[in-house]
Structure 1
């Protein structure tokens, strides 16, 4: 089965590595156009392996569509794709395209789907491999994996310890299911879904009038990006970690002590 790998960054690289280690026939790699001086890890691996590499700025160009058709691919594996791809491009491979999303769709559609469950105080999330369409994370589900959100999880720990490695394995599992003709297409229930936009700095300014759990969850869910913040003596301070305590009699947001370990 001839595969296209479409993605970017460390996750895209890890998926490509896993597929190549299994001896899969990867006929081309698509990744985002270059930004700045640092080369995309997926691009670097594709070049190292001598794979055909394409970085179109838009997938609405007819030339991009024709070029992809010329590959005669069976399946496109979309590993961390952050832009909308036209349905006619998604359907170019004989068996279509499958995509990774780090939430239990239809919950938490959108680009910051790891941040928001933590910020909202949820205790469970997961990942989905789905068949993308022209909507935003709206295509039928192929498979899902659940992950517990423990009380001290952060965006970073949840992603790198769970959703990243599990996602790579799930993408490979999805390829196997498609190859074997056992890949389901389970329609999402739109009535039970949710969508959130990017989690930005404006969303994670700490309101010290909120209860301690909401502040605690916001700091965890924004660590390391975009970083929950407040002001101290007129200067912006980013809070990347915290713990709850019942020992202080000070007003919320008051600095009662400071040392090398924090405030």
Structure 2
């Protein structure tokens, strides 16, 4: 877009729920386009008191006096008519959490676009950020996609790249992509209003399903390489958190580091422990555990744990996973 070309303001419905989506809405609110309504999941019980709590997107929308709609489903005729009555040019969907039927996808003049937290078609589905780390991808990014009935299968309108560093966790990558997604969305919406975006059809043969993480999957298999176990730790931080059995109880592992150290000790055995961490033998290399959470305790650096319990992890006598 040239400096002299100005995008015609669009009437936009924004649909999203979590913090990731709120960052995209925040970015959209800095443009000349008009967010005429926000759709978000119904308030959910949260915290110890299980008090009904609005989503981050709803909170942001109300701060800007934008009408908020929270239907349980978009499959019934009344909800669909309510949306159609808004006469939107475009609907932007970011981690909304509800299925959009074809009639809804077809309602806005320019259809519906989605901000997806990966480089499509690599990872489609529920957990693209975590799976990119888990499988050792060198990069990820944001894909702005025209939505269709299939799961993340629509034509790609705009893509951005982001390197995955050796220390990125699901949390740090989420936060970087949330900001990148907002910037990419602004660019895409401006280009859409000018009709300058060119859609690229996805190659289905390159796609993988990013299955949602499970707590059971977070258990470390010490027969695997230290590099792979480090990926599990980072992909499962901050949820559901990687773990291993220690004295018959789950020990949660928040931070670790792979090392090339080889050992003749059985896998899962402590090679050494000091203030730098607990070094554990793996199928290949060794994993240095740096931040741990003992049952019923808060997460602490190994140095802090050893200050009060210096003999907790005795080399060659302590074995995890048994």
Q: Which residue of 1 aligns with 2:305?
A: none
Which of the residues 94, 99, 104 maps onto 2:114? Answer: 99
Q: Which residue of 2 aligns with 1:6?
A: 15
Q: d(CA) in 2 for partners of 1:163 and 1:66?
A: 34
Which of the residues 204, 218, 230 maps onto 1:216? Answer: 230
Q: Which residue of 2 aligns with 1:156?
A: 171
1:1-26 superposed Cα distances (whole Å, 9 cap, x missing partner)? 11101101223222222222223211
Q: d(CA) in 2 for partners of 1:24 and 1:221?
A: 36
Matches within 5 A, 1:117-136: 117-136=132-151
Q: Which residue of 2 aligns with 1:113?
A: 128
Matched-pair contact (CA < 8 Å) for 2:24–2:178: no
TM-score by length of 2: 0.77
Q: d(CA) in 2 for partners of 1:45 and 1:127?
A: 22
**Secondary structure of the corresponding residue to residue 243 of structure 1:** strand
Which of the residues 80, 104, 108 maps onto 2:95? Answer: 80
Q: d(CA) in 2 for partners of 1:184 and 1:82?
A: 27
Q: CA deviation at 1:248?
A: 7.4
1:201 aligned to 2:215? Answer: yes
Q: Which residue of 2 aligns with 1:165?
A: 179
Q: Which has the higher helix share?
A: 1
Q: Which residue of 2 aligns with 1:28?
A: 37
Q: Which residue of 1 aligns with 2:288?
A: none
Matched-pair contact (CA < 8 Å) for 1:11–1:168: no
Matched-pair contact (CA < 8 Å) for 2:24–2:94: yes
Q: Which residue of 1 aligns with 2:86?
A: 71
TM-score by length of 1: 0.94
Choose 1 or 2 for highest CA Rg. 2
Q: Which has the higher strand share?
A: 2
Bigger RCO (CA 8 Å, 6+ sep): 1
The worse-fitting range, judged by mean Cα deviation, of 186-195 and 81-90 is 81-90
Q: CA deviation at 1:149?
A: 1.2
Q: Which runs of 5+ in 2 are unaligned?
A: 1-9, 46-50, 276-299, 303-312, 314-322
Matched-pair contact (CA < 8 Å) for 1:82–1:111: no
Q: Which runs of 5+ in 1 are unaligned?
A: none
1:18 aligned to 2:34? Answer: no
Q: CA deviation at 1:247?
A: 5.4
The worse-fitting range, judged by mean Cα deviation, of 46-55 and 109-118 is 46-55
Q: How many residues align?
A: 262
What is the RMSD of the two structures over their aligned residues, measured on CA atoms?
Answer: 1.7
Q: d(CA) in 1 for partners of 2:172 and 2:60?
A: 25
Q: CA deviation at 1:195?
A: 1.1
